[in-house]
Structure 1
């Protein structure tokens, strides 16, 4: 049996003391802090008593009862006593005034709370207030809305001339007339449309007023029996209020929609800023090395082989040709041979004269780019002489030209890769062993009797042959390994530095953040662009664009005399025409070549012999997979020499979109080269095709089937590089567009929504017909945030699924194909085609992998649309906009992938036509 504390004063006192001592008393203090309305309720009761809404002497009118009842209790009791119709109209008026006053009092506290919520942020968060856009000037959503609706100083974007003068609007142009003529015409259309609907509403309201008067007269019930619901007059007033015309042709309801869009956009923008403040340098919260893949480094042997030839050319002119031209050049004199040096040569124009600058070993790539105005860097190996007025920069390219295309030169970190290329070219040119090689070859082949060849320079590497012989195989092996080791070591170090250093090219920049939630998908494009640029840079090795002058002269003469001369014979000093042997010596005496006839013959002989030895010696290039009789194997070997799906195992921690971009870009680069090479070979004959060297031989062996495989690889590359990495941006961009379209839909539907309030039945202010409109406005307000949730969910799910695929796909292929691919990721580039049971498997496994990745990407990134479209179901609404079911990626596939495939096939068909025409010409000649 419990003891009643009220009957036990001691127990009551003990409990009070314990409560005071042990309990913090938060609740009591909070209750005391809350505002008290007891006095207001008492005063309302006194007034209601005076108009006979409360009976005399009611407890509510007694001062001793203040605080024991609420304002709501007084209003409810007074409402129950409303009766009598028009004869008690004073009661209705007084009650209505107090009811409105109570509502205004509540709204006052609501606005006070809103001011507290939307006050200037004091914490270290990157937004000013919850429903205020920090940078509306360049906010993408505001720009789009200003471009559509054209309301001055409403969205305050840079398209508004009153805002465009701000510094942040640099790069944005505003129309001198705002709203534009199109927007003004659309606003007039809205004005006319709203006026028409308002006219209809006026007739409906007038009908209801007449009906109410007649029913009141007939029944004696105030406002009639059909108008007894308190919500009926509110709906009538609200319907008319929503249709009232305001500025720029829009009515009240339409401005409610625009305010919902404006505040919803601000909410999403601030949420996006808060999200990025927590992730750090990038929206994924990843370290720099996780955003950039680590590709394989190519071979530099082609550059080394060209510089072998250029140094032989330099030495041949130095010891074998006397410069008989008078010169003021500091690098040449009449008493010595022609002095060859590397130069930067800038082509002249109608405004500027051509200039040149000699290179030294310490010249930097940045200096070279500055010389060329940040364009491609070209190194000319020749002699500068004042008499060479016909040559740019007065530099005659005796020993050839090498070009370094400056692709993606504006990206931070990428130019450092080109700097390594430039440095390695100069390092090889000025290398003592390479210079010694040139003199030894020139002296051994043609100029042993010259005074400059009495003593041969020493080499630190093994010559691989007696000193009086040309270089042996061991020399080429040692020099290639040394040059490749230096080149690869420098590139690997630079790539590692670039991957482990914060890079603005992969970071979320301030400008993108200022674009608001509508620009949330832009950052993912940066990952694709940067990784693709790095692949381009690593595949854009320095390329010889011109061989030594005498060799180019021989090749030109030979092609004139016999267009079908094979590449292996294009520089030989003899030519076979109609089974007759023709010596090229007779063409070596032209004045523009520099030396005398005999000197030029000797130099040309030394160069062609050196070129032939370099081409014939397998040690001058990295070991390649032996060509087989299978064209498929040869093609796959070439295509997957440095790339393939198996590189993913070496980049397991890299962002999946970055890996896909690198793989796709490599496939595009290689297949484009193959398609172009086949076009050259079939279009202009075997001679041009032979210039491609081993690639030309492969094309000849593969034949027409190569076009099919190259087209397949090209399509896969387009899918992996352009389509999949762009999916976040594409889906998100169209998500923003759908939001704008839903706003326009609401702007058209608002007048009809206002009319829906005129339905008399049902409870609540919306009634049975207008409730859907409120949910659509709520959707417009919340859709931007839902779209951000869709982006975050799609990226997270795509990363999880793609990482899982990288793990299980290897197991699946091993079970089907019979070989373990994990061992191939760390192998040499050429082992893939040898290790696979059939080289064809590599191609089709890549196709399967691309299809799976595409399916994962589409199903994942569709969440950007699906979440905003269907999340409103949780609010009890099944409403949807008219544009929810469109799929932008489906259109992209047709417009990009399928048409790219069609373009590649069209090129291949043209190649076949060229080949048929070439065969016809040969038959005609016979």
Structure 2
């Protein structure tokens, strides 16, 4: 938020502009009148003084009061200079001539400073929104550069309304002591030059010697001494020149940055749509399959229990509920639109758990109080992950996923699947079979064919994808991508802050998109079978895993006989669903290519394949999206590695399962290695890359700040450099570098802003061209069909690639690395532009802040090393702890011996898995 008083400050600046412009028409004639009259009297006075020392002869027209106003000061000085003889006998003429000349120069400088003061308040009235003159800072108390300058130098009233601290007062005293010391040195140098002049005059017979520059030497003497004399707060005039150069340069850069943002909707100067990458959602087949089984469970239980008539006319139904302890539940209505906010409030903005169950239909025969909220989750639970996000897109994705679960629960085709499964497998075909849809691949008598399931999965995947796409589009339509006022008010020093918001926007959207709803609890019969299988019978796997019998053919016992009937239906449905492979069209979803699918799952590289395809998305947003996917996969791999470690530690202590323990330990080690690499790469892409503009820019601001402090110390030496009796011009041969240093302090802020903008636009341009030429590069490496002669570089018929999808995967990885290298090289321009551009003025000066090593060069290496070390230590701690826990449990189980874990009867119901 903008700090209180900012608006008032801006209005005050605007008011001063209006007042100044209103005053200008009246003051300009007065200035002209003063110049015509006042300077006429000054010229007459100087002529009289020059006549007194015989530089103007008696009777000269300039001495006649009637001619006053017909000549100017420069005419008088020029006439006196023509009559000046540089001899020892005319020493009085020489002193008077140069004294008047220096006095007039000082008078002119005073008027120049007065004019600059007027310009600073009046110029650029039609400037940026935050107003002020071209060199003025609209909100100095909020400006980052001013805050830094005051924190370092502490000159009261110079950089905002801050007062000096005791530290600053002590430092100002040190500056004063230093200036006085240099003033003493200057006096010694002047005395030395007096001796030199006397000696050269005696040697050569020429007044002041042959080296003495009669025009500039006296002026340099006055300037040098004037720069060294302390005038206020212990600082000399040269140091105040430095401070004003920094202040005016900072104001120039701030107004330039504000002007740049006035005509843009975002800091990248591109469309808002290009700032939000398109997430590639994970495979949705698992959640669709679960919802089909949950709906089959509902159909089966309702047919069994209603046909038995448990309690007279009670109609038993299984519905979705929100549940929490101790006995609180809330049924989700059939029309769940807009119910998401109610669900969030129910769970106090934590993860939402949807329980597919029912209240007690038996009047107390079944103990439902053991289940959360008094609802028995007959048909399982689904959890919807909610993150503490505020971005519109991420919130809409989470709400869309909630609505998708309700859509799947009520979907007619899934209801048809459930009806067919229950009709075919329940004894006596309890209930009829009337399908809601017409499809040749599903029939009450013939069952369900694979194309029905394939098409259902594709359609539901498209629905999930449309949910994310709609959320992204609404996020773009909502706007909010421009640099916010609370950042703009911080001036040019905060120009790099906004670019990290690209990571925040895309990270929240990608995280929400990747967190698909997931099963939290299986249907009761499947849960009972799974527990029995883990404890007593692991010989059955694959499609037979949920068979309601042991591998020896004996049936698994259930607490409720109805659970066994439903288990038969679910087992049949599970096999029907899983007999055929799942076909998906997308490159980033399962396609019967186990290598590519495994790489995508383990590395989280779903976004790689869409990076070159989505050319309209800004590459910075795409790289952030890829990094987010890799980070999420790393977390998943760490969790899996921990689980495998626990299992490995458990089984290696049980002799008959020692081989399984060794396998799990090896799998855990592999996942740890993947997590170590993934966290390193993901950390760089997601966290470091979007920070690079800010990091480089903030360091550039720090370099400028160091240059200002260097100048504060170096200005007295610059003043001494003026003490030269030979050479031409005010700077002479020695002081010119100091003028360039002062100018560099003035111009560096806006050059840094130019460097930031150049780095962003060049990065974007290079990546867009890389998108066009990369296919040609890869084809030259792997070969292509020469018949595609019609292919062109920009547009035209695309080249037909003749390589496998694995080649595409690894070339895309190379492409991402190249894009990252382009980013790091381009962002260096934030430093290089202000550091080197003054060579266009023939200046080779460089401050010590520019000459020191670049601390940012090692940032990526430090981040990579830190990420690898941190991930390795974290993974090692988790897996070691998990293995120890597994060893402890395995030792206990191994000591009990075979069969010591209990009988074959497993309690069903809603127990926790």
User: So what's the TM-score if we normalise by structure 2?
Assistant: 0.77
Q: Is 1:899 the counterpart of 2:866 in the alignment?
A: yes
1:540–1:228 CA distance, 2 compared to 1 (3 A): same
**SS state at 1:545 partner:** strand
Matches within 5 A, 1:558-597: 558-560=533-535, 571-575=546-550, 584-585=556-557, 588-589=558-559, 597=560
User: How far does residue 489 in structure 1 lie from its aligned partner after superposition?
Assistant: 4.1
Matches within 5 A, 1:182-581: 184-185=166-167, 187-189=169-171, 191-192=173-174, 194-199=176-181, 201-202=183-184, 204-205=186-187, 208=190, 212=194, 235=220, 238-239=223-224, 241-244=226-229, 250-278=235-263, 280-321=264-305, 336=314, 338-345=316-323, 356=330, 358-364=332-338, 365-384=340-359, 391-407=371-387, 409-446=389-426, 448=428, 453-462=430-439, 464=441, 466-467=443-444, 471-496=448-473, 498-499=475-476, 501=477, 503-504=479-480, 506-556=481-531, 558-560=533-535, 571-575=546-550
**SS state at 1:402 partner:** strand
Distance, in Å, in 2 between the alignment partners of 1:153 and 1:470 is 86
User: How far does residue 72 in structure 1 lie from its aligned partner after superposition?
Assistant: 1.4
Distance, in Å, in 2 between the alignment partners of 1:701 and 1:889 is 39
Could you give the per-residue CA deviations for residues 414-463 of structure 1, whole angstroms, max 9, x where no partner exists? 322333222221112123443454354345434647xxx33234231437
**SS state at 1:883 partner:** helix
Match of 1:736 in 2: 701
**SS state at 1:344 partner:** strand
User: How far does residue 751 in structure 1 lie from its aligned partner after superposition?
Assistant: 4.1
Match of 1:787 in 2: 752
**SS state at 2:520 partner:** strand
1:493–1:889 CA distance, 2 compared to 1 (3 A): same
Which of 60, 63, 80 matches 1:61? 63
User: How far does residue 467 in structure 1 lie from its aligned partner after superposition?
Assistant: 2.2
User: How far does residue 96 in structure 1 lie from its aligned partner after superposition?
Assistant: 3.4
1:306–1:93 CA distance, 2 compared to 1 (3 A): same
Matches within 5 A, 1:637-656: 638=601, 643=606, 645-656=608-619
Which of 863, 873, 883 matches 2:849? 883
Distance, in Å, in 2 between the alignment partners of 1:119 and 1:820 is 68
Distance, in Å, in 2 between the alignment partners of 1:560 and 1:240 is 95
Does the aligned pair in 1 maintain the 2:543–2:574 contact within 8 Å?
Answer: no
Could you give the per-residue CA deviations for residues 600-643 of structure 1, whole angstroms, max 9, x where no partner exists? 33344444443444344435977833356xxx556446569984
Could you give the per-residue CA deviations for residues 817-863 of structure 1, whole angstroms, max 9, x where no partner exists? 235899xxxxxxxxxxx986355533432343233223322332222
Which of 625, 628, 635 matches 1:662? 625
1:819–1:650 CA distance, 2 compared to 1 (3 A): same
Say how many residue pairs are matched: 824
Task: Out of 80-89 and 232-241, give the one that drifted further.
Answer: 80-89
Distance, in Å, in 1 between the alignment partners of 2:381 and 2:153 is 58
Q: Is 1:107 the counterpart of 2:87 in the alignment?
A: no
Match of 1:626 in 2: 592
**SS state at 1:651 partner:** coil
Match of 1:867 in 2: 833
Distance, in Å, in 2 between the alignment partners of 1:47 and 1:244 is 29
Distance, in Å, in 2 between the alignment partners of 1:321 and 1:583 is 22
Distance, in Å, in 2 between the alignment partners of 1:454 and 1:197 is 102
User: How far does residue 41 in structure 1 lie from its aligned partner after superposition?
Assistant: 2.9
1:146–1:55 CA distance, 2 compared to 1 (3 A): same
Distance, in Å, in 2 between the alignment partners of 1:217 and 1:435 is 114
1:908–1:480 CA distance, 2 compared to 1 (3 A): same
User: How far does residue 400 in structure 1 lie from its aligned partner after superposition?
Assistant: 2.1
Match of 2:141 in 1: 137
**SS state at 1:424 partner:** helix
Task: Out of 774-783 and 759-768, give the one that drifted further.
Answer: 759-768
Task: Out of 255-264 and 731-740, give the one that drifted further.
Answer: 255-264
**SS state at 1:794 partner:** helix
Does the aligned pair in 2 maintain the 1:715–1:900 contact within 8 Å?
Answer: yes
User: How far does residue 262 in structure 1 lie from its aligned partner after superposition?
Assistant: 1.9
1:432–1:647 CA distance, 2 compared to 1 (3 A): closer
Does the aligned pair in 1 maintain the 2:127–2:259 contact within 8 Å?
Answer: no
Distance, in Å, in 2 between the alignment partners of 1:869 and 1:282 is 27
Could you give the per-residue CA deviations for residues 174-233 of structure 1, whole angstroms, max 9, x where no partner exists? xxxx756xxx33652452354145235326526745985998799899997698856556
**SS state at 1:663 partner:** helix
Distance, in Å, in 2 between the alignment partners of 1:334 and 1:260 is 93
Distance, in Å, in 2 between the alignment partners of 1:333 and 1:148 is 83
User: How far does residue 129 in structure 1 lie from its aligned partner after superposition?
Assistant: 0.9
Distance, in Å, in 2 between the alignment partners of 1:744 and 1:795 is 30
Distance, in Å, in 1 between the alignment partners of 2:676 and 2:486 is 39
Does the aligned pair in 1 maintain the 2:645–2:664 contact within 8 Å?
Answer: no
**SS state at 1:816 partner:** helix
Does the aligned pair in 2 maintain the 1:323–1:337 contact within 8 Å?
Answer: no
Distance, in Å, in 1 between the alignment partners of 2:152 and 2:328 is 52
Q: Is 1:125 the counterpart of 2:110 in the alignment?
A: no
User: How far does residue 345 in structure 1 lie from its aligned partner after superposition?
Assistant: 3.6
Distance, in Å, in 2 between the alignment partners of 1:373 and 1:912 is 33
User: How far does residue 410 in structure 1 lie from its aligned partner after superposition?
Assistant: 0.9
Does the aligned pair in 2 maintain the 1:727–1:889 contact within 8 Å?
Answer: no
User: How far does residue 704 in structure 1 lie from its aligned partner after superposition?
Assistant: 7.0
Distance, in Å, in 2 between the alignment partners of 1:408 and 1:467 is 46
Higher RCO (Cα < 8 Å, 6 or more apart) = 2
User: How far does residue 784 in structure 1 lie from its aligned partner after superposition?
Assistant: 0.6
Distance, in Å, in 2 between the alignment partners of 1:308 and 1:738 is 62
Task: Out of 377-386 and 422-431, give the one that drifted further.
Answer: 377-386
User: How far does residue 729 in structure 1 lie from its aligned partner after superposition?
Assistant: 2.4
Distance, in Å, in 2 between the alignment partners of 1:749 and 1:582 is 94
1:445–1:650 CA distance, 2 compared to 1 (3 A): same
User: How far does residue 919 in structure 1 lie from its aligned partner after superposition?
Assistant: 12
Question: What is the aligned-residue RMSD (CA, Å)?
Answer: 4.8
1:569–1:232 CA distance, 2 compared to 1 (3 A): farther
Which of 150, 161, 165 matches 1:146? 150
Distance, in Å, in 1 between the alignment partners of 2:502 and 2:543 is 43
User: How far does residue 815 in structure 1 lie from its aligned partner after superposition?
Assistant: 2.0
Which of 160, 173, 176 matches 1:156? 160
Distance, in Å, in 2 between the alignment partners of 1:148 and 1:706 is 50
Task: Out of 730-739 and 140-149, give the one that drifted further.
Answer: 140-149
**SS state at 2:848 partner:** coil
**SS state at 1:380 partner:** strand
Match of 1:826 in 2: none
User: How far does residue 878 in structure 1 lie from its aligned partner after superposition?
Assistant: 1.3
Distance, in Å, in 1 between the alignment partners of 2:447 and 2:593 is 29
**SS state at 2:177 partner:** helix
1:870–1:369 CA distance, 2 compared to 1 (3 A): same
Does the aligned pair in 1 maintain the 2:325–2:373 contact within 8 Å?
Answer: yes
Distance, in Å, in 2 between the alignment partners of 1:494 and 1:207 is 75
Could you give the per-residue CA deviations for residues 859-899 of structure 1, whole angstroms, max 9, x where no partner exists? 32222111111112222321112232543542221122343
Distance, in Å, in 2 between the alignment partners of 1:207 and 1:621 is 87
Distance, in Å, in 2 between the alignment partners of 1:670 and 1:214 is 79
Distance, in Å, in 2 between the alignment partners of 1:150 and 1:347 is 60
Distance, in Å, in 1 between the alignment partners of 2:150 and 2:818 is 41
